[in-house]
Amino acid sequence: MEWETVIGLEVHVQLATKTKIFSGSSTAFGAAPNTQANAVDLAMPGTLPVLNEQALRYAIMFGLGIDAQINKRSVFDRKNYFYPDSPKGYQTTQMDYPIVGAGNVEIQLKDGSTKTIRIHHAHLEEDAGKSLHEDFHGCTGIDLNRAGTPLIEIVSEPDMRNAEEAVEFAKKLHAIVTSLGISDGAMSQGSMRFDVNISVRLKGEEEYGTRTETKNLNSFKFMEEAIALEVERQIDILEDGGRIVQETRLYNGDTKTARSMRSKEEANDYRYFPCPDLLPVVIDDSYIEAIRASLPELPASRQARFVENYGLSNYDAGILSADSAMSQYFEVASQVCDDAKLTANWVIGEVSAQLNNTAKEGDGTSFALCPVSAEHLGQLICRIKDNTISGKIAKQVFEAMWNGEGDADTVIADKGLKQVSDTGALEAMVAKVINDNPEQVENYRNADEGKRKKMTGFFVGQIMKASKGQANPGMVNKILMAQLNG
Amino acid sequence: MHNCTLAELSKGLADKAYSSDELTQHFLKRIKQLDSQLNSFITITEEQALAQAKAADQQRANGNSTALTGIPLAHKDIFCTNGVKTSCGSKMLDNFIPPYNATVIEKFNQAGAVSLGKTNMDEFAMGSSNESSFYGPVKNPWSTDCVPGGSSGGSAAAVAAQLAPAATGTDTGGSIRQPAALCGITGLKPTYGRVSRYGIIAFASSLDQAGPMSRTAEDAALMLNVMAGFDHRDSTSSEQAVPDYTAALNDDLSGLTIGLPKEYFGTGLSPAIEQAVQAAIKEYEAMGATIKEISLPNTSLAVPCYYVIAPSEASANLSRFDGVRYGYRCEDPKDLHDLYTRTREEGFGEEVKRRILIGTYALSAGFYDAYYRKAQQIRRLIKNDFVAAFQQVDVIMGPTVPNTAFALGEKSNDPVSMYLEDIYTISTNLAGLPGMSIPAGLVEGKPAGLQITGNYFAESKLLNVAHKFQQATDWHQQFPAQFSTKAED
């Protein structure tokens, strides 16, 4: 039997507003528990919510970024449930009239094809607080700092057919929200969280199978693992003649296992109704158009520009444009050295590798926090281009720059890494290697043209070793040929 | 001094006939001597009141006073008061001391008013008799065997018994006007959004509105001048400019068209109350007003509509009382579920639980369309009735309540007959309109109220219409004998 997977995503994105969606408390991450919770956040009696207009603007920006319909009238609803991290006993969210209507996100797949994932809608809502189960001897601590942080929940159609598509879609959303500057995208801090709806059906079947929802995945890797695990579980059940139970599941990234959280029967009746403390949000065309006019460049148009203006490959341009901090870094560096292709190689290669070693996945600010500034990288690349150092030495210089030992010229000077291009010095070096290795010279001179080419490698290696890698490779070759053949 | 209106006391303070300190001490003394018979106060803030009075006297001496500077007031215990217990009449909040003031309290503080204390009320403002209070029922000063009405019964009784010159109340379905009628005082529920709800413990957010409870319309105007206005902390408060509500008090009423809804004079209305209302209408005719019979055809739907919408909102508004962050918490909860269920079982009274259940049911999946959505549609119809009526008339008049104050305990076991107490007042809240009740007679020694309903933001007109009546009659100057002679200095 051939099975087909059907995946839909619900993505929670924390918006990068300075204050909460319905109160003036700070949203900064990492403060001591409950120091960023005022009377409104604590749901003290008589307190009332007031919508933070910046959150509304950010949600509209997202809608415009995915070519979605912006609803001119949206309504906040109360979603009722009891839990200690939900201080009012209900979450303020949008149910029937969300701010963002249907839209589209285009993803690129590894085989080079593209696919459009439809967005059903995106709505504004408030985040809950956190329950702290450690350190409280049989009790649970409640931290309401996060309570009231603005979120958009993006709900996709069930358009994805495998984990790759789901992960690409998630990454694309990450690229969009960080490029728009509406979220810091810091996944390790919970700024972006994914609920994955998964079902399987026999290939060719029209009807969807019964789905499960795996909640609160906060990395692309966990998402990929959780999908693989759940698809396998569902197929096993179905092939054994069983039935899938509609349920909410939790994936544990440490143990690589998942468990059922609650079944549909146990699901809450949330008793949604319009929140009488908040008026319907009514906006007009001019409000929307003013926001559209202020939109920053989005990944798709940036990618096209990189291909067009810098002559990059579509693939490289795609990587560079996905992350706005990365693309900004690339553009600054390439302007300094005036070599976009070499800069692209460095940014995608060396710089990204170093950042990946230190930063956490998806934390979009990592390029902004790179210890080697874009200007300094550009200067380093200049030194490669003007033959001051070789590409190989440049990696050594970069490492030193990363460790705070100064800019490229300082490191090159301090460590004496300047490429040796002095003809006299190089001739002496070549002569010494030839003198020290009479046997190899003899063999070389007796070999035919085809073999000779291979044998030069030995001499070049010896010379580079003697020069600690600093000999100008082009000049070494020329002088070596002259002396060997001369 | 306690026989004086707020306006007269304000003049007395301005003329240095007495100080705010003396005035405040006088009312505190009356409360101490008399309130044991009424139970109208939950908390008396003597120390704070005297400090505020001294500050007010200083303010008057400095020449930067308002009409309210130094005037002692009582506040319904639903308004959060910084550092002073705010119980909302419930065991759930018996230990709750807010770290903030309601906007209304803040505004009175800024105006230099003095707070004598917090008045008794039906638990979470749910009731029409003040019998659902955790602190016991309030007695009607006109007949201490009777209820004062509710939910602002403590404020109404305190003003009627002259324990305070005026007080604040809130009105969700009649909670200012009905007790004002039963206690023979003047009560005004402003247009929804006219007064900030910030810091008022919510019952039904789309209906709740705070207003003044006073002896006269002029006093209500002075109070509303302080209370009204946009508040950036309440999204539903109106940005409409606030006029001086005293400015139009004496406007001539000739040419005024008064609508009498035929639905307000049908079965269920006590003939004696009807007589009092008709007599009041005659007064208005004498002042040059035209009377017009109108129809508000959906009136009979108002009570059922209200008892879906208000409990639905309440069921969510009261979810925050969960024993986690403040207020009552049950002893030794064994787990989270136990904490929730026992805290709420023990902390809420019967009527509150009844309404939470009704509201939870009405919002449940499968019932939402039949109840909540239908009720919202009816609410629109009721509003449209009024919009149409105000095309033809300037104000609408009728009885505030079908009967005079009933005996304590009489309706405690019959919630539906209790709910019908608000049959004439509820529509106003559903439509969001301003409404007043003013004293219009005595029936067997108990007050009868005339209700005046106005168009949106027509508070000035309402106060004008009420004031002219009070200029022509003296029903508002009648005092319950038991309380008017005692503690005279």
CA distance B465 to A410: 88
Considering only CB atoms, A39 lies closest to which of B79, B99, B365, namely: B99
Give contacts of A80 with chain B, Cβ < 8 Å: 315-316, 319, 363
- CB contact (8 A) between residue B102 and residue A46: yes
Arithmetic mean of pLDDT, A395-412:
92
Greater confidence (A166 vs A314) lies with A166
- Is pLDDT above 80 for A117? yes
- For the entire predicted model, the pTM comes to 0.88
- CB contact (8 A) between residue A278 and residue B86: no
Picking from A52, A139, A266, A277 by the largest number of B CB atoms within 10 A of its own CB, the best residue to mutate is A277
Burial of A246 (0-12, 13-18, 19+ CB in 10 A): middle
Annotated catalytic, B143? no
Say if B370 is an interface residue toward chain A (CB within 8 Å). Answer: no
Picking from B97, B312, B317 by the largest number of A CB atoms within 10 A of its own CB, the best residue to mutate is B317
- CB contact (8 A) between residue A45 and residue B340: no
CB B164 within 8 A of CB B188: no
CA distance A71 to A62: 13
DSSP β-bridge partners for residue A196? A9, A214
CA distance B240 to A446: 103
- CB contact (8 A) between residue A89 and residue B320: yes
- CB contact (8 A) between residue B205 and residue A78: no
Give contacts of A276 with chain B, Cβ < 8 Å: 204-206, 236, 313
Q: Compute the half-sphere exposure of residue A234: CA atoms within 13 Å on the CB side of its CA.
A: 28
CA torsion A458-A462-A463-A467 (nearest 10°) is 150
Burial of B184 (0-12, 13-18, 19+ CB in 10 A): buried
Which residues make Cβ contacts (< 8 Å) with residue B395, sequence separation at least 6? B256, B257, B258, B259, B452, B453, B454, B458, B461, B462, B465
Closest CA–CA distance from residue B300 to any residue of chain A (Å):
24
- The catalytic position among B40, B90, B143, B175 is B175
pLDDT, residue B489, reads: 44
- Residues from A in contact with B at Cβ < 8 Å: 39, 42-51, 78, 80, 82, 84, 87-90, 140, 142, 269, 271-273, 276-279
Helix (H, G, I), strand (E, B) or coil at A70: strand
Count CB atoms within 10 A of the CB of residue B406: 21
Considering only CB atoms, A269 lies closest to which of B200, B326, B364, namely: B364
CA distance A173 to A155: 11
Closest CA–CA distance from residue B373 to any residue of chain A (Å):
9
Q: Does some domain include residue B320?
A: no
Annotated catalytic, B364? no
Closest CA–CA distance from residue A51 to any residue of chain B (Å):
8
B58-66: list long-range contacts, CB under 8 Å, 24+ apart.
B59/B112, B60/B13, B60/B14, B60/B20, B60/B112, B65/B13, B65/B14, B65/B112, B66/B111, B66/B112, B66/B226
Q: What is the pLDDT of residues A439-475, one digit of tens each?
A: 888 888 888 888 887 888 888 888 888 888 888 888 8
Closest CA–CA distance from residue A140 to any residue of chain B (Å):
10
pLDDT, residue B487, reads: 44
Chain B residue with the nearest C-alpha to that of A50: B235
Which residues make Cβ contacts (< 8 Å) with residue B88, sequence separation at least 6? A45, B77, B78, B121, B123, B124, B125, B201
- CB contact (8 A) between residue B198 and residue A49: no
Arithmetic mean of pLDDT, A233-250:
95
pLDDT, residue A457, reads: 85
Picking from A22, A53, A79, A82 by the largest number of B CB atoms within 10 A of its own CB, the best residue to mutate is A82
If one counts the domains in chain B, the total is 1
The pair phi, psi for residue A200, each rounded to 5°, is -125, 155
Which of B362, B206, B336 is closest to A86 using CA atoms? Answer: B336
Annotated catalytic, B133? no
- The catalytic position among B151, B237, B312, B315 is B151
- CB contact (8 A) between residue A271 and residue B336: no
- CB contact (8 A) between residue B365 and residue A271: yes
Q: Which two tokens stand for residue B38?
A: 């009424």
- CB contact (8 A) between residue B233 and residue A48: yes
pLDDT, residue A368, reads: 80
ipTM: 0.96
Report residue A361's pLDDT band, with 50, 70 and 90 as the boundaries.
low
Burial of B110 (0-12, 13-18, 19+ CB in 10 A): exposed
Residues of chain B where predicted confidence (pLDDT) is lower than 50: 486-489
Closest CA–CA distance from residue B465 to any residue of chain A (Å):
32
Say if B48 is an interface residue toward chain A (CB within 8 Å). Answer: no
The structural domains of chain A, with segments of one domain joined by +, span: 3-290, 297-415, 423-485
CB A85 within 8 A of CB A147: yes
CA distance B468 to B436: 14
- Is pLDDT above 90 for A137? no
Greater confidence (B43 vs A437) lies with B43
CB B99 within 8 A of CB B192: no
What residue spans of B334-436 are helical by DSSP H?
336-347, 350-363, 374-392, 415-419, 426-431
Q: Does some domain include residue B126?
A: yes
Which of A60, A58, A56, A62 is closest to A76 using CA atoms? Answer: A56
Q: Which CATH number fits domain A423-485: 1.10.10.410, 1.10.490.10, 3.30.565.10, 3.40.50.740?
A: 1.10.10.410
For residue B29, what are the domain limits? 6-254+477-484
- The catalytic position among B10, B19, B40, B76 is B76
CA distance A110 to A88: 46
Give contacts of A50 with chain B, Cβ < 8 Å: 232-235
Is the link from the previous residue into B312 a cis peptide, with omega within 30 of 0? no
What CATH number should be reported for the domain holding residue B123? 3.90.1300.10
- CB contact (8 A) between residue B235 and residue A78: no
Count CB atoms within 10 A of the CB of residue A172: 19
Tell me how many degrees the CA angle A381-A383-A386 measures, rounded to the nearest 5: 110
Helix (H, G, I), strand (E, B) or coil at B138: coil
Q: Does some domain include residue B407?
A: no
Helix (H, G, I), strand (E, B) or coil at B406: coil
Chain A residue with the nearest C-alpha to that of B78: A46
pLDDT, residue B488, reads: 47
- CB contact (8 A) between residue A87 and residue B320: yes
* Alpha-carbon Rg for chain A in angstroms: 29
- CB contact (8 A) between residue A87 and residue B325: yes
Picking from B103, B118, B198, B203 by the largest number of A CB atoms within 10 A of its own CB, the best residue to mutate is B198
CA distance B146 to B129: 9
Crossing angle for the helix pair B374-392 and B302-317, to the nearest 10 degrees: 120
Picking from A48, A96, A275 by the largest number of B CB atoms within 10 A of its own CB, the best residue to mutate is A48
DSSP β-bridge partners for residue A258? A251
Q: What percent of chain A has pLDDT over 90?
A: 69
